Amino acid sequence: MPPRVRMIFATMTGVLFLISALGLYRELSRRTDIWWTPMARLVPLSESTDRVVVYVRGTPLRTLIDARQLRVIDADSAGVVGTSDIGFRFNNADRVGVQRLPVVLGYAAATGALAMLFILVVAGRLAYRGEGSH
């Protein structure tokens, strides 16, 4: 393979390698603490029973609230806790991680394949040898 063609192929595969490697790095270095439910979108107690059940001294929280046995005492007031006073935040990092898995695997495969191609081009192992007699 002529040196000029080898340089063009090496440059192309190097650039494509960097693009896929940067994508892989970006996906793997994301913060995992950003997947919590935002405070403005807290999940009410009635909608959270399929994901969490909270117990207070062995009694389900919902039972205590329905029986009006749970109170909050502040410095200047006291009041019974209602269902509207309770909200939950969930960490959705596991669900997001599963959704991101195909993207990460794609970037990893592209990075590995392009690294191998780059090595083959630079080492001259993809040289055209023609169809001579063997």
Position 108 pLDDT exceeds 90: yes
Q: Mean of the pLDDT values across residues 3-24? A: 88
Q: How far apart are CA 36 and CA 106, in angstroms?
A: 26
* Chain segment 36-84, per-residue pLDDT in tens: 878 888 888 888 877 788 888 888 888 888 888 888 888 787 788 887 7
In the chain, the largest separation of any two C-alpha atoms, in whole Å, equals: 99
Position 129 pLDDT exceeds 80: no
Write down the mean pLDDT value for the chain: 83
Residue 45 confidence (pLDDT): 82
* Residue ranges of domains in the chain: 1-35+94-127, 37-90
Position 109 pLDDT exceeds 90: yes
Tell which residue, 30, 44, 32, has the closest CA to residue 89: 44
Give the pTM.
0.54
Residue 134 confidence (pLDDT): 55
